[in-house]
Amino acid sequence: MRVATLLPGLAGRGVLLAAPDDAEQVRRTVAGSGFAVADVAGPATGLREAQAAIARALRLPETAGRNLDALVDSLRDLATWWPEDERVALLWPGAEELVEADLPGFLTLTEILRAATEDLWRGGGPGDRQFETIAFVRRHGVRSLGEAQA
Concatenated DSSP letters for 73-142? HHHHTHHHHSTT-SEEEEEETTHHHHHHH-HHHHHHHHHHHHHHHHHH-SSS-TT--EEEEEEE-SSTTP
Q: Are 87 and 35 in contact (CB under 8 A)?
A: yes
pLDDT of residue 142: 65
Domain ranges of the chain: 15-138
CA distance linking residue 141 with residue 42, whole number of Å: 22
H, E, C per residue of 59-86: CCCHHHHCCHHHHHHHHHCHHHHCCCCC
Contact 112, 72 (CB under 8 A): yes
CB-based contacts of 137, cutoff 8 Å, min separation 6? 17, 18, 19, 20, 95, 96, 99
| Position 50 pLDDT exceeds 90 | yes
Where does the pLDDT of residue 140 fall: very low under 50, low under 70, confident under 90, or very high at 90 and above? low
- 58-111 pLDDT, tens digit each: 999 999 999 999 999 999 999 999 999 999 999 999 999 999 999 999 999 999
Residue type, 21: D
| Amino acid 42: pLDDT | 84
- Among 145, 50, 37, residue whose Cα is nearest residue 103: 50
